[in-house]
Amino acid sequence: MMNNTDIVKYIIGDDNNTQYNKLLSQFNDTIDNYQGLSSVNFGSISKFEKPKNVIPSVRFNYSLDELNEICNKYLDGSEKAFNTVLYLALSLCGVKISDEDSLLYVKSFIGYKEGRRFFRVSGTIGSKRLTMRIVPSAWGEGDDSTSTRFALRNTTDVYLDDINVGQITSLFTASSLKNLAYVTKHASGEYNLNLNPYQFCNQNCLFCSKGFRHMNDELRKSLVNLSPDQIIRYIEMKLPELNFATLTEVIILTGRYYSTEDLLKYVERIVKGLNILSKGDFDPLLNHNQRVKISTHLLQSEDDMIRGKELGIKRFIYPIEIFNDGLRKKYMTNDTYSENKGDTPISSVFEVLERAVKIFGADNVEPVIIVGLDSYEETINGLKRIKQLGVNMLTYSVFRVYDCDQFEMYKLSLDEIVSIISIIENTFSNGYKQIIDFDDKQINKLYRKL
């Protein structure tokens, strides 16, 4: 049996000692390293500053009665609908820790400047994946709009005021930043292979969980960016049980490519490598039910889209993320690049989507937005414009604060967020929606049941 040193030598090859040392360090990390069990205490939690620049309509101290009111106003009032509102509230509001035992499940995000990247509990409540930001108790009680009424007690129990509203059922044990390849299951039953070959993304969008502005030098230097050949060998060694024939989709995530040409060459080599590794079981060019999907702003012309389609890219994701041009420029621009996401005005984004509908078909264009960063009116108008293009699918995420300076980015209150999500669900088919299936050995490796 190969040890970690031999595995990493095989993945990296003999020509890159720096990459070798970085990846070996990550292979030698344990779950405890990611959870930081010895480094989180009430003293370290209290060092985070209370948010100051939150707009008046945004608050975090929702009560149980208010959640029920929101559920009945915008959704159907069912238990399932209430749980949707509850999970959104937990993601938005965060949770306080009320006993020492519950600290065991807090991730410390080793490698960030002290007091900048919030501690979190990440895992599942029931079968719903959830990440909860840890809120210092010193921020105030329930009558303070910047505080939260949620608390984690008795190790795994989640309370809203004095009502038990859920229980943590598992922990997500990996680092989302360092997780290079993993399998997920779509709500439709499809299996997806997710590739994250670029741990360090120079785009550094200010709302992103993978932004590097608060990383210390040691963490930044420890991140690897794997070539197509290296990521294929990584899959071979880390996912030996992967059944390629069951894969519907390979998704290439979080890659800040320097040019469209760089992007297309990367995809071409990935597809060829997977075809060889799987002995033809994954071949999007021959198999109608298989596809490559890539999230990028760089495929903008019809010619480039056609080239991508000829490589196996059958579903086109455009990370719109923000509709407001001023905010796009402010949050999505890195001065070291000439082709920033934020440099493309939203009018041009809609033109790109129109071309994509022509090339890939309306059912294979998947815009992605972040709910919470635009105003309510801007979000509604943006959704209407997407629908007018004939696009039927939309993936959305709700903005969550990761760093202490992100609170001021919120433009929407919880009830506005729920209202928009209700409109999305009634207007578009689901884009990517992950489900957690603990009985499936291919996808439960990242979660530890409690």
Output the domain CATH number for residue 405.
Answer: 3.20.20.70
- Residues 239 and 186 placed together within one structural domain of the fold: yes
* pTM confidence score: 0.92
- Decide if pLDDT at 32 tops 70: no
For residues 242-248, give the mean pLDDT.
Answer: 93
Do 161 and 197 lie in one domain? The reply is no
The mean of the pLDDT values for the chain is 89
What is the model's pLDDT at position 16? Answer: 64
Q: How confident is residue 433, by pLDDT bands cut at 50, 70 and 90?
A: confident
pLDDT greater than 80 at residue 33: no
Q: Which range among 58-72, 192-206, 270-284, 408-422 shows the weakest confidence by mean pLDDT? A: 192-206
What is the structure's pLDDT at 37?
Answer: 41
The pLDDT-based confidence of 167 (bands split at 50, 70, 90) is very high
Task: Give the pair of three-digit tokens for residue 239.
Answer: 């996912």
Residue scoring higher pLDDT (131 or 188):
131
| Structural domain includes residue 17 | no
Burial (Cβ within 10 Å: 0-12, 13-18, ≥19) of residue 254: buried
* 70: Cβ contacts below 8 Å, ≥ 6 apart: 62, 85, 414, 415, 418
Q: Is residue 131 part of a domain?
A: yes
Is the pLDDT score of 104 beyond 90? no
Same domain, 375 and 261: yes
Task: Look at residues 172, 194, 222 and tell me which one is the last residue of a structural domain.
Answer: 172
Q: Say if CB 171 and CB 34 are below 8 A apart.
A: no
Residues 148 and 125 reside in one and the same domain:
yes
DSSP state of 118: P
Lowest mean pLDDT among 23-27, 39-43, 206-210, 330-334: 23-27
| Tally of structural domains, the chain | 2
* 230, burial (CB in 10 Å: exposed 0-12, middle 13-18, buried 19+): buried
Average pLDDT over residues 175-202: 86
Q: Is residue 20 part of a domain?
A: no
Question: Higher confidence at residue 29 or residue 391?
Answer: 391
Helix (H) or strand (E) holding 222: helix 217-222
229 and 336 share one domain: yes
Average pLDDT over residues 343-351: 95
Tell me, what DSSP letter sits at residue 362? Answer: G
pLDDT at 1 over 80: no
Residues 78-104: what's their mean pLDDT? 92
- Please give the pLDDT value at position 2: 75
pLDDT band at 82 (very low <50, low <70, confident <90, very high): very high
Could you give the C-alpha distances from 385 to 32, 269, 321, 395, in angstroms and in order? 46, 35, 14, 15
Dihedral sign computed on CA atoms, order 373, 68, 51, 106? negative
Angle value at C-alpha 143, between 137 and 148, nearest 5 degrees: 45
Q: What is the pLDDT of residues 388-408, one digit of tens each?
A: 999 999 999 999 999 999 999
Q: Examine the domain organization and report whether 126 and 166 are in the same domain.
A: yes
In a shared domain, residues 143 and 264: no
**Would you call 152 helix, strand, or coil by DSSP?**
strand
Are residues 189 and 285 part of one domain? yes
Distance from C-alpha of 232 to C-alpha of 227, rounded to nearest angstrom: 9
Banded pLDDT at 308 (limits 50, 70, 90): very high
Residues ≥6 apart with Cβ < 8 Å to 297:
318, 319, 339, 341, 344
Q: What is the 3-state secondary structure (H, E, C) of 368-384?
A: EEEECCCCHHHHHHHHH
* pLDDT band at residue 322 under the 50/70/90 scheme: very high
Q: What pLDDT shows up at residue 36?
A: 41
Stretch 398-427: mean pLDDT, rounded? 95
Question: Is the pLDDT higher at 327 or at 297?
Answer: 327
Which has the higher per-residue pLDDT, 110 or 330?
A: 330
For range 301-312, the mean pLDDT: 95
Q: What is the mean pLDDT of residues 284-288?
A: 94
What is the per-residue pLDDT for 261?
A: 92
What's the pLDDT band for 379 if we cut at 50, 70, 90?
Answer: very high
Residues 125 and 71 placed together within one structural domain of the fold = yes
The pairs formed by 268-275 with CB atoms below 8 angstroms and a separation of 24 or more are: 268/311, 269/227, 269/228, 269/229, 270/195, 270/228, 270/231, 270/232, 271/311, 271/312, 273/228, 273/229, 273/231, 273/232, 274/232, 274/235, 274/244, 274/250
Instruction: Count CB atoms within 10 A of the CB of residue 377.
Output: 9
pLDDT of residue 15: 57
> Do 89 and 124 have their domain in common?
yes
| Interval 208-238: pLDDT, tens | 888 888 989 988 888 888 999 999 999 999 8
Q: Determine how many CB atoms are found less than 10 A away from the CB of residue 438.
A: 13
Q: Which two tokens stand for residue 266?
A: 């990367």
In a domain, 30, yes or no: no
| pLDDT tens track for 42-74 | 999 999 999 988 999 999 999 999 999 999 999
Whether 371 and 412 map to the same domain: the answer is yes
Q: For position 38, what pLDDT does the model report?
A: 44
Q: Can you give the residue range of the structural domain that contains 409?
A: 181-449
Domain annotation covers residue 13 = no
Confidence check: pLDDT of 346 > 90? yes
Same domain? For 293 and 393 the reply is: yes
